[in-house]
Amino acid sequence: MKKNNVQQPALHKVIMVGSGGVGKSALTLQFMYDEFVEDYEPTKADSYRKKVVLDGEEVQIDILDTAGQEDYAAIRDNYFRSGEGFLCVFSITEDDSFQATMEFREQILRVKNDDNIPFLLVGNKGDLTDKRKVSLNEAQSRAQEWGVPYVETSAKTRDNVDKVFFDLMREIRARKKEDVKGANGRGKEKGRRKKLKCNLL
């Protein structure tokens, strides 16, 4: 990759995770193509790439839309390894999907072995306020506990759709800069990460 003399825009790899049917694909498609897809068809694993301007700098975003239905955690591991940032999506109309975010979070931390991995908790289907099952408070307190931002979106009305992707990219970018610094300074700061992992267990 270093052979590229022509400056390639930075590539940020984002992974959508969450239970089946919470709207991961809908968010992705809304962000990619400005369209809302009403028909539901379970995703296997789809990837998308798009050039965007992030704070005046041209970057590429690579979105991996994973299967909510995947039954086997072992398969999910392989997807998560390649991610630099995660949008953990649940539906505010479905408590089960909110509970499932715990499991996703744990798996991501385990796979990435990193407690500070760029991560956003996203409550989707914000337009369906009359069917809300997960209160704002509940979601916010969980996000606080994890030390991650919480954003409510609606893939249907495009509310906050750009925001979640751009916020995540900013975190990934900040994280990458920090890593470079760390690497230049005194080698990799592995110790910190390891320690955090212990906290989890």
Partner 1 sequence: MESLIKSVGENDYKPEKYVKELSQRCMGPEELLQQKTNVESLGEQINTMLKKNVFYNYTQFIDTAKEIANLEGEMYQLSHLLTEQASLLNSLASSTVVSEQISNSGKDVNGDQNAEVDNVVEEKRVQKLLNIMERVENCNNLDVPDRKCLHEGDLLELDPIENTPVQRIHCYLFTDICIVASWLSSRHGPARYRFQSIYDLCNLAVVNIKDIKNAFKLLAFPETRVFQAPNTGLKNDWLSKFEVAKKSQISVENKMKGTTEHKTIQRADSIQLVHNSFEPEIPEIELPEWLVDLADDLDVLIAQRHFEDANVLISKAKFYLEEHNDQIPIFIDLEIKAKLEDRIQKLTLVLTNELQVSPDKSHKGGLRAARRAVRILNQLDKSSQACDLFLKVCSNLLKSQLQYVQRDGAMSTFVKKYSMVFFGTTIEITHEFLYKAFPNSPACSSAFILWTIQEVNDFMVVLNKHMFVPQTSLSNLSECIKVIHKNCQELCDYGIDLQFQIDGQLRIPLTKSINDVKEKTIEVIKMRFSEDKWKPFNLKTKQQRDKLVEEFKNYGFSNIESYNQGDSWIMLTQNTITFTRTYLLLLNDCLVFYSPDLVNAIDQLLYEVFAAHCNNIKSSIKNKNFVNDINIITTNARFILDIFLSHCFKIYSESTGNTNPKIHKRLKSEFGVIPTQNITGYI
Residues 11, 17: Cα–Cα separation, whole Å: 19
Q: Is 4 in the site for partner 1 (CB under 8 A)?
A: yes
Q: For residue 5, state whether it binds partner 1 (rule: CB under 8 A).
A: no
Position 52 contacts partner 1 (CB under 8 A): no
Binding segment toward partner 1, per CB under 8 A, in 45-53, 134-142, 143-151, 161-169 = 45-53
**Binding-site member from 2, 5, 74, 184 for partner 1 (CB under 8 A):** 74
Show Cβ contacts of residue 84 under 8 Å, excluding neighbours closer than 6 positions. Answer: 12, 13, 14, 117, 118, 172, 175, 176
CB of 41 to partner 1, least distance (A): 5
List 14, 64, 100, 161, residue binding partner 1 (CB under 8 A) = 64
Q: Which residue type, as a one-letter code, is found at position 10?
A: A
**Closest separation in Å from C-beta 144 to partner 1:** 31
DSSP sequence for 17-54: E-STTSSHHHHHHHHHHS----S----SEEEEEEEEEE
How far from each other are the two terminal CA atoms of the chain, in whole angstroms?
Answer: 37
CB distance 58 to 187 below 8 Å: no
CB nearer to partner 1: pick between 8 and 144? 8
Task: Single out the segment in contact with partner 1 by CB under 8 A; choices: 42-50, 94-102, 141-149, 155-163.
Answer: 42-50
- Could you tell me how many residues make up the chain? 201
Residues in touch with partner 1 (CB under 8 A): 1, 4, 8, 11, 32, 39, 41, 44-50, 64, 72, 74-75, 78-79, 81-82
